[in-house]
Amino acid sequence: MRIDKFLANRAYGSRKEVHDLLKKRFVTVNGEIITKKDFSINLDTDSIKVNGFEVPKQEIFYIKFHKPAGLITAVDDVSHRTVMDVLPPEYKKMGVFPVGRLDKDTEGLLLLTNDGVWAHKVINGRKHVPKVYYLEFNGELSEDGLRRIREGILLGDGTQCKPAEIFLINDSSARITIEEGKYHQVKRMIGAAGGTVTYLKRESIGDITLDDIKETTQYIDLSENEVNLFI
């Protein structure tokens, strides 16, 4: 395949814009700078980079990312850094977007894809996908508060939550499993039960975990088995 066709297909711009990238010596194949627009590449063996970033060869992406606190879960934002700002720019060019959301001050597992049907299956609450969070809190969670979380707590604004599992690790930390994704849900549930969340981390979505991306900002492709969990 011609290098200009490949890069245009990967959303690096029009053919003319891709030709400009080549002229400016921003494109390498196997470490060699390429300037000819008709240069032939082998998608099976060649490493193609633009501005030092590897160009993905696949068209559909399924990614898991260890989101740090401080980033908002969005593709673009005029005021804040987003999760896409710390991921390779090729993902954004290929239409990758976050699946669901994590609050700005929440750390943990975030899935991203450009497969809209798959994303809907992940976030559709009717599919009963459990999401596990580790949390630290101030205050005291009463026995009545814990019971109401387990039975389905009613929030102050009248929002009814589904029953959730909660396990107290000690008097200031817990692990909670929910199947919904309401706005600030875990924080509001803990607040309604008498505590104030000071740290929140999503550890898993279904059977997909952070086990192989323990450091924040790390990301990897989902395995075929992980993708198939929601097909």
CB 134 within 8 A of CB 172: no
Convert 193-222 to b/e letters by CB count within 10 Å (16 or more is b).
bebebeebbbbbbbebebeeeeebeebeeb
The answer to whether 182 touches 197, Cβ cutoff 8 Å, is no
| 103 carries an active-site annotation | yes
Active-site hit among 4, 103, 157, 221: 103
Q: What is the helix, strand, coil percentage profile of the chain, to 5?
A: 25, 30, 45
E strands in the chain: 27-29, 32-33, 48-50, 53-54, 62-67, 97-99, 107-113, 131-139, 165-170, 173-178, 195-205, 208-209, 219-221
Q: Active-site residue numbers?
A: 103
